[in-house]
Every structure is written in structure tokens, then in C-alpha cells.
Amino acid sequence: MKKKTILITGASSGIGKATAELFAQKGERLILCGRRQERLTELKKEFKCETHLLNFDVRDRKAVFDAINSLPQDWKQIDVLINNAGNAHGLDTVETANLDDWDAMIDGNVKGLMYVTKAVLPQMIELKRGQIINLGSIAGLEVYPKGNVYCASKFAVDAFTQGLRIDLNPYGVRVCAVHPGLVETEFSMVRFKGDEQRSESVYNSLDALQAEDVANAIAYMVEAPPHVTVADLTLLPTDQANATVINRKK
Ligand code: NAP
């Protein structure tokens, strides 16, 4: 079978890293993206598969297009784009929230994902094939207290995914979204600005999803037969019923 070329944003940590590791084991060709170049370089050293690195901030429109346009000829044909880069910043009510946090979430989770999609899309349309997998969240399916703008950003990802699926329907490009509940990654460390105690308290009283669980769900979407689009996949820890109902053990 021909190897797939898979571009993963946010490959330096969490779900993106676990997805990169899984596809590296499968021997696919990987384009790994992120801001923390040294982490990507470590992965490239570890991986036995062909790997190309791109170092850019998804919020920087010019940097996104420059990076995608800089791909060498034999890396330009991307079979699968995994739009994973994103984070929550803060957990506050609207009146107490920090505007910089709002900018980071809207610019990264929403506009960044759109820029990368727009940059990668032309060759998929030309070849009339390809797959785009967006990292949504259950925060994009229901709003929880103090989730306001993070939830808005993930609702936007869901709407954009649905719109993209309609627009790309004539071209045979599969458009998918995965919506995880609580996944134990660096996500809460970023959300709580390095507060380890607060971050650990999110995960230490339940059996949270691991990044590898989400990577396996993504692989299922990629490996489905070409005539099958796994449009949406919601993944919860068994200890979690929805965004607010969690069976915490202590
Ligand atoms: P994570 O461990 O913090 O990883 C986030 C990744 O995104 C990092 O590799 C980071 O790389 C990259 N990233 C963030 N902002 C970026 C930017 N402006 N430009 C480029 N790269 C950026 O968190 P995670 O849990 O794996 O999150 C991955 C995705 O899953 C996110 O979209 C998140 O919203 C979604 N999600 C997470 C959970 C959860 O509970 N963890 C649940 C549902 C959905 P650099 O810092 O190196 O750039």
C-alpha cells in the first residue's frame, strides 16, 4: 500500500504527538508542525519513518502560508491534514476574563485552523481526494460554565467542519471531526497558565482519556475505506457523561 503523507498541527505535545507516534509506527510519511521546534526535532530523531518539520504559529497567517508553500515538491501532496493545534486559555466568566486569552483561543483554535486548511486545500481539490480531520471537543457540542469563549471557538470548529464538508463534497475530500471529552495532556497546564496543582486536579480523580485513545480514533477515521467518511466521533472517558457530569472518585 502507498504510504500516506499526513500533516499534523500541534505535533509537539498531547493528542498531536500521540497521533504522530501512532502513524510513525505504521510507517506513514509525516509533516509535523508546532512552535516548539526542539520537541519536533526530538520526534524526528526517534521516528524511523520519513518526517518533515514545519515550525510556525497557526495564528500568523503569513507564516502558515509560507510554511505550507515551503514544502519540497515530494512533500506537497498531502493525503491527510489533522488540524489539532489549539488550547484553552483561562476558565473565567465573561466579565472577569482576560481579552488576551480570548484572542489566543479565537486566533489559534478558529482562525489558525482555517488558515492551515485554506493553505493545504488547493492540491486536494486538484487531485480530487484527501482527508481533513479537525479537533473539535465536547466543548463544541455543549457549553459549560466559564467555558464561554473556548466553547465558542470549538462551536466554530464544528460549524466550519460542516461547511467544509458541504463545499468539498464535489471533490471527494473526506471531512471529519473528533470531539473528545477530558484528555490528560498539557491542555490544563496551558489553560491554568502553568498551575500544576490546578491542572492535576482536573485529571487525578477520574480515569481520563489518554492522548493515545484519541490517536486511535483518528487512525480509525484515516483507515476507513475511501468511500466511508467517519463524519463525527465523540469520545468520552467512561467516568464522564457530558461536560459537567463527571464521576470523580474523590
Ligand atoms: P496540548 O498537549 O497542550 O497540545 C496542544 C498542541 O497545540 C501543542 O502541540 C502546541 O504546540 C499546539 N499549539 C497550540 N497553540 C498553537 C499555535 N498558536 N500555533 C501552533 N501550534 C499550537 O493539548 P491537547 O489536549 O493535545 O490539545 C490538542 C487539541 O485537542 C486542541 O485543539 C484541543 O482544543 C483539543 N481537545 C483537547 C481536550 C483535552 O481535554 N485535552 C479535549 C477536547 C479537545 P506548540 O506549543 O509547540 O506550538
Q: Which residue, chain included where needed, has cell 495564528?
A: 59
What is the identity of the amino acid at 192?
Answer: F
Indicate if ligand 1 lies below 6 Å from the C-beta of 13: yes
pLDDT at 55 over 90: yes
Packing angle of the helix pair 14-25, 211-223 (nearest 10 deg) = 50
pLDDT at 160 over 90: yes
Per residue in 129-151, pLDDT (tens digit) is 999 999 999 999 999 999 999 99
Q: Which residue, chain included where needed, has cell 486559555?
A: 89
For β-strands 80-83 and 232-235, DSSP reports them as unpaired
**Which domains does the chain carry?**
5-235 (3.40.50.720)
How far away, in angstroms, is 42 Cα from ligand 1 center? Answer: 18
Please give the Cα distance from 52 to 45 (Å, whole number): 11
Locate the ligand 1 atom nearest the alpha carbon of residue 104 and give its number. 18
Verdict on whether the full-model pTM lies above 0.85 = yes
C-alpha grid cell for residue 100?
A: 488576551
For β-strands 51-55 and 183-184, DSSP reports them as unpaired
Catalytic choice (115, 150, 203, 220): 150
Per residue in 72-126, pLDDT (tens digit) is 999 999 999 999 999 999 999 999 999 999 999 999 999 999 999 999 999 999 9
Judge contact between 22 and 212, C-beta under 8 A: yes
Q: Which residue, chain included where needed, has cell 463525527?
A: 232
Please report which confidence band the pLDDT of residue 250 belongs to, taking 50, 70 and 90 as the band edges: confident
C-alpha grid cell for residue 143?
A: 457549553
